[in-house]
Amino acid sequence: MAMLKKWLLTSLMAVTLVFVSFANTVHITFAEGNTAKLAIIGESQKGIMLCPKEEQIKDGETALSLLQKVMGDKVESETMSFGTYVKGIDGLMAGATSAWLYDVNDKSAEVGADSYKLKSGDVVVFRFVSDWSNISQETLKETLDKFGTCKPEEPNGGKPEEPKTDDPKQEKPEEPKTDDPKQEKPEEPKTNDPKQEKPEEPKTDGSKQEKPDGTKTNDEKPEQPKQENIQDPSAQLNEAISKTSDKMLQDGIESDWVAVALSRSGKNVPIEAKLNYVKSVTEKVEKRINRFSATDLARTIIMMNAMSADPKNVGGHNLVQKLYESDKVNSVTGYAFALLAFDTKKYEIPVESKWNRVALVEALLNNQHTDGGWTYNSSGSKDSASSVDVTGMVLSALAPYQERSDVKPAIQKAVAYLYNEQLQNGGFSADGQENSNSTAQACPST
Q: Is 60 among the domain residues?
A: yes
- State the CATH number of the domain containing residue 120: 2.170.130.30
pLDDT digits (tens, 9 = 90+) for 116-159: 899 999 999 999 887 655 667 789 998 888 888 675 444 444 44
**Which residue, 152, 184, 213, sits at the end of a domain?**
152
285 and 427 assigned to the same domain? yes
pLDDT digits (tens, 9 = 90+) for 307-334: 999 999 999 999 999 999 999 999 999 9
Instruction: Please give the backbone phi and psi of residue 179, each rounded to the nearest 5 degrees, phi first.
Output: -75, -15
Select from 59, 18, 440 the least CA-distant residue to 257.
440
Q: Is 271 among the domain residues?
A: yes
| pTM, 2 dp | 0.53
Q: Containing domain of residue 313, as a range? A: 249-445
Distance CA 39, CA 61 (A): 16
123 and 261 assigned to the same domain? no
Q: How many helices (H) and strands (E) does the chain have?
A: 23, 10
**Which residue, 118, 152, 186, sits at the end of a domain?**
152
Q: Is 63 among the domain residues?
A: yes
Q: Is 219 among the domain residues?
A: no
Q: Which residue blocks in 345-387 are alpha helix, DSSP H?
A: 357-366
pLDDT digits (tens, 9 = 90+) for 1-42: 444 344 333 443 343 333 333 333 333 433 346 999 999 998
Select from 430, 14, 191, 174 the least CA-distant residue to 441.
430
130 and 269 assigned to the same domain? no
Q: Is 205 among the domain residues?
A: no
315 and 424 assigned to the same domain? yes
* Number of domains the chain is built from: 2
Distance CA 249, CA 239 (A): 15
**Which residue, 113, 128, 152, sits at the end of a domain?**
152
The answer on pLDDT for 374 being more than 90 is yes
140 and 262 assigned to the same domain? no
